[in-house]
């Protein structure tokens, strides 16, 4: 199973763009890259998923280089409510997909 | 209308007791999971079921026994509770397997179990 590595924590200020990079050197051909967000006392929430190049939704963008060994979650113009833990996961869509969570990146957005 | 619901939200019990946590999903998903999040906030998968069949058991003690009466429910029963079982337990569901279009999983709000 592909292992992921992310920074333990990041600080930002309101209105800034935040980029969180995840390394997944052993990603398999069938693996997708998925990011989750978790607020205190809540379950993780899906943010975005991608396979290659760039994916954008109303919440974030996901940049994946051609070799797919890393990915970058980009949060535009963060607000205080974006303070949370962000997890990067890799895996396929077969029924044995384990949804392995790493230690995540604790993002603190300051006023 | 809650997609993945767990009950109870809080559970305080004494060592040695047996307790159950219930989970239901109304998303029509085939796969359901139980996760444990400890005080250091690490989320560890415990079990995964696909269409009521156990797919993944991550070396969880035998005291933990999941039960899936149908694919919309995955309950977790814990025997002889220990202090180290104190954690937040999350149930989740996703549409893995044949025909899946996404790896998105939906999580419940969690059950905070405190063993005293």
pLDDT reported for residue B58? 82
**Cβ contacts of B100 on chain A, cutoff 8 Å:** 93-94
SS (H, E, C) chain B: CCCEEEECCEEEECCCCCEEEEEEECCCCCEEEEEEECCCCCEEEEEEEECCEEEEECCCCCCEEEEEEECCEEEEEECCCCHHHCEEEEEEEECCCCCCCCCCEEECCCEEEEEC
pLDDT of amino acid A12: 97
At residue B64, the pLDDT reads 95
pLDDT at site B51:
84
pLDDT for residue A101: 85
For residue A28, give Cα distances in angstroms to A76, B53, B116: 29, 26, 44
pLDDT digits (tens, 9 = 90+) for A46-77: 999 999 989 999 999 999 999 999 999 999 99
Q: Are A105 and A23 in contact (CB under 8 A)?
A: no
Residues of A in contact with B94 (CB under 8 A): 97, 99
A64-111 per-position pLDDT tens digit: 999 999 999 999 999 999 999 999 998 877 756 677 888 899 999 999
Residues of B in contact with A96 (CB under 8 A): 48, 55-56
| Higher local confidence (pLDDT), A28 or B13 | B13
- Which chain B residue is nearest to residue A99, measuring alpha carbons? B45
**Chain A residue with Cα closest to B102:** A93
Mean pLDDT, rounded, for A8-15: 97
- Predicted confidence at residue A22, as pLDDT, reads 95
How far is Cα A104 from Cα A83, in angstroms, rounded to an integer?
13
Candidate from B35, B104, B109 with C-beta closest to A49: B104
Q: In tens digits, what is the pLDDT along chain B, a chain of 116 residues?
A: 679 999 999 999 999 999 999 999 999 998 899 999 998 888 899 998 888 888 888 878 999 999 999 989 999 999 999 999 999 999 999 887 666 667 788 999 999 999 99
At B52 the pLDDT is: 84
pLDDT of residue B95: 83
């Amino acid at each position: 199973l592909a292992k992921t590595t992310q920074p333990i924590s990041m600080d930002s200020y309101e209105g800034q763009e935040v980029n969180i990079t995840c390394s997944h050197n052993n990603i398999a051909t069938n693996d997708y890259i998925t990011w989750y967000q978790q607020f205190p006392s809540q379950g993780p929430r899906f943010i975005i998923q991608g396979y290659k190049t760039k994916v954008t939704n109303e919440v974030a963008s996901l940049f994946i280089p051609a070799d797919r060994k890393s990915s970058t979650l980009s949060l535009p113009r963060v607000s205080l409510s974006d303070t949370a833990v962000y997890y990067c996961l890799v895996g396929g869509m077969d029924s044995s997909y384990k949804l392995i969570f790493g230690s995540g990146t604790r993002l603190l957005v300051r006023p | 209308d809650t997609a993945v619901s767990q009950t109870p939200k809080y559970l305080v019990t004494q060592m040695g007791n047996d307790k159950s946590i219930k989970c239901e999903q109304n998303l029509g998903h085939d796969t359901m999971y139980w996760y444990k999040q400890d005080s250091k906030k690490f989320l560890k998968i415990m079990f995964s079921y696909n269409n009521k069949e156990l797919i993944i058991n991550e070396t969880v003690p035998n005291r933990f026994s999941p039960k899936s009466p149908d694919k919309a429910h995955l309950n977790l029963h814990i025997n002889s509770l220990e202090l180290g079982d104190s954690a937040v337990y999350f149930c989740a569901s996703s549409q893995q397997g044949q025909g899946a279009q996404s790896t998105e999983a939906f999580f419940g709000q969690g059950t905070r179990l405190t063993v005293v």
